Structure 1
C-alpha cells in the first residue's frame, strides 16, 4: 500500500481512494469521504472524463463541476476529458490504493468487465463494489483466481443490501442451530429519481414484466412515465439479490431460504418503511426464534451504502497489506470503521 502519514497528533495512515462512477452514489461517496482522516479522495471518473490528483481533490469542486458541466473531466487543472476514462485513470493513478466502484449494475456484466480492465492493466490494490444481482456476483466469483494472481483484493456486495444487512444476518445466524430463512426488507426514499438514475433503472429491472435489458434501454421519459403511473412508488418482491449467494457461501443457509424486497419512493426523501433483516431459525434448545436488525430511519440510503463500502475497503486494505488477494464478500469479512 502506498499509504502516507498524516502530519500532526493523529498520526493515522492515509489511504488514497478513487471513485469510479460519479452519479448519485459516486457523489455521495465523495461527500462521505471528505471528513475522513484515514482516507482521501484522489481520483474520480465518469463516462466522459476523470480527475486525478495524488494529494487529494476537493469533493465539492468535483460535484459542482459534474453537475454543471456533465463530467469531472472539466475540473481544472487536474481533470481530463476522454471516452476511455476508466482505462486512462487506472493507468495514470499509480498511487491509488483502492477504488469504490460506484458504477451501474447495468448491463449485468458491466462491473465484471471493468474489473477485467484492472487486471489487464496490471493494477494492484483493493476494489470494493455495492453490486446487487446474484448473477453479477457469480461472474466476479469466477474471476477469483485471476484476481489473486493479479494482486487484487476484491470486496464484493459491500453496500447496504447486499452488504450491511447481509453481514448482520451472518452475525445473527450464530445464535441458531439451523437457519430457516433470512428476510431482507428495505425502504428507500429519495426526493428526485434523477439523482440516482442507474439505481432506479436497476430496481425497475426487478419488477414484474421488466428485466435488466429492458430497464437499461428505457429512456428518461419512459422511466418518468412509469413513475407517474405508480405515483413514484416502486414495490419490489423476490429480487435477484446477491445476499443469497453470499450467505450460502458463508455457510449460513441455502440461497433459496433468502428473500429480498422493498419499497422505493422516488418523490419523497422519507423512507416508506424501515429497512430491516429478519433471521429465523431453530435454537439449540429446539425452539423457533427470530432475530430482527432494523436500520434507523434517519440514516440515508447513501450513508447505508457508502459507509459500509468504505469500511470494507479499509478491511480489504488490511488483507492486501498481508498479501491476501482474491475475492471476498461482506458476509465473510468484518468491515473496519474509517475514522
Structure 2
C-alpha cells in the first residue's frame, strides 16, 4: 500500500489472533480502504503505524505463540489489550475477534475502552443473547465515551440477521425467522474458542463447562460424535437483535446448525428463512442461502469490516452508542 493510501485508510486493530483474528488479518491485507496497524493476543501485541505485515504476524504467532515476539514492533505483556489501548497510538477501529467465553468477557473489554478515554469504532462477532444484552445496557456509557459500537456483526448474528431484516420488508407480520448454518473446518484446533463456544450450546453442557474443558476432553467429545456437533435452538443474539429492530418478538427466531470439525466441506448450506404474512393476507417464505464455497471466516470477517466502515461513517458524524447488524447497513470495503 502506498504512503498516500495508508494516510487515508482506516487504521484497524484486531484483538484476538486465533483462527478468526488471523483470517481477519488476511482479509485486511487485500483491502485499500483499511490497514491493519495493531494486533493483540493473550501474551502480547504488535503496533506499526505504517501497517503490520500479515504474513509475518501469522508466522510469528504460529511459531512462537504471540505477535508480541515480532521485532521491532512487538511487545510481550500479560495484559495485552489494556496495554495496547494505553499506548494511545492512533487506531480508528478495533475488531474484537475474541472468545465469547465467559459471557461478560467482551462487555468487560468494552468497559476497558470506555475507561481509557479512547474514541473510535468497535465491532464484534459476538454470539450469545445475554452477552449482547449486556452491551446494549452500556449504550449511554458508550455514547458519553465517544465510542460507536457495532455488535453482532459476524455471520450469525450479522450477515444472516441483516438478510432477515431486509427480507422482513415484504411482510406485514413476521411469523418465523429460522437460521440454519453449516460450518466445515479441517482441524478444530484452528478455531478452539469457536468450537468450545459451540460445545456450550449442546444439551448437558454450559458455557462454564465448555470453557473449563481441556483440549484432550474436547477431542474425546469430538471422537464420540465423529467430529460433528449438532446444535439446536441455540442462545443466539439474532433474536434480541431482530426484536430491538422492531421486526418480530425474539421467540419467533430460532438458530441451529451443524459443525463438522474434521472436514472443510460444509455439512449443509447456511441459510435464513423468513416466513410472514403479506398485506394481501398471503403466507410466504423468503430464503437467503450462502454459497457453500464461502468459509466461516469469509462470512464473519467480511461483514465485520463492512460494519466497521459503516460505524466509522457514523462516528465521523458524531453518532455514538451501540448499534446492531439488524439496524445499520454495512458498507463494502474496497
TM-score normalised by structure 1 residue count: 0.97
Match among 126, 130, 140 for residue 135 of structure 1: 130
* 2:42 aligned residue: 47
State the shift of 1:12 in Å.
9.1
CA–CA distance in 1 between the matches of 2:206 and 2:161? Answer: 24
- 1:57 alignment partner in structure 2: 52
The answer to whether residue 259 in structure 2 is matched with residue 269 in structure 1 is: no
- Does 2:331 align with 1:313? no
**1:336–1:40 CA distance, 2 compared to 1 (3 A):** same
Which residue of structure 2 aligns with residue 187 of structure 1?
182
Q: For 1:47-104, what per-residue CA distance to the aligned partner results, in whole angstroms no more than 9, with x for missing partners? A: 1000011110001100000000000000000000001100110111431000000000
Structure 2: state its 5+ residue gaps.
none
Q: What is the SS of the residue equivalent to 1:7?
A: helix
Does residue 243 (structure 1) correspond to residue 243 (structure 2)? The answer is no
Q: Report what 1:66 is aligned to.
A: 61
Q: Structure 1, unaligned stretches of length 5 or more? A: none
Q: Does 1:7 align with 2:37?
A: no
Could you give the per-residue CA deviations for residues 128-187 of structure 1, whole angstroms, max 9, x where no partner exists?
000000000000011000000000000000000000000000000000010000000000
Question: Following TM superposition, by how much is the alpha carbon of 1:284 offset from its aligned partner in structure 2, in angstroms?
Answer: 1.0
> Is it true that 1:217 corresponds to 2:212 in the alignment?
yes
- Is 1:285 the counterpart of 2:304? The answer is no
Distance in 2 of aligned mates of 1:114 and 1:251: 28
Aligned residues: 334
Distance 2:178 2:199 in 1: 20
Q: 1: distance between equivalents of 2:210 and 2:66? A: 24
1:19 to 6, 10, 14: 14
Alignment correspondent of 2:167:
172
Normalised by the length of structure 2, the TM-score is 0.98
Alpha-carbon offset, residue 13 of structure 1: 3.1
Whether contact under 8 Å (1:6, 1:14) holds in the other structure is no
Write the distance in 2 (CA, Å) between the matches of 1:282 and 1:157.
Answer: 27
Alignment root-mean-square deviation, CA: 1.3
CA displacement 1:279-302 (0-9 Å, x = unmatched) = 000011101000000000011100
Q: Which residue of 1 aligns with 2:91?
A: 96
CA distance in 1, matches of 2:271, 2:23: 22
Contact residue 88 and residue 118 of structure 2 kept, 8 A: no
Kindly report structure 1 stretches of 4+ aligned residues shifted beyond 6 Å: none
Q: CA deviation at 1:6?
A: 5.8
- Asked if 2 retains the 8 angstrom alpha-carbon contact of 1:97 and 1:125, the reply is yes
> In 2, distance between residues paired with 1:200 and 1:79?
28
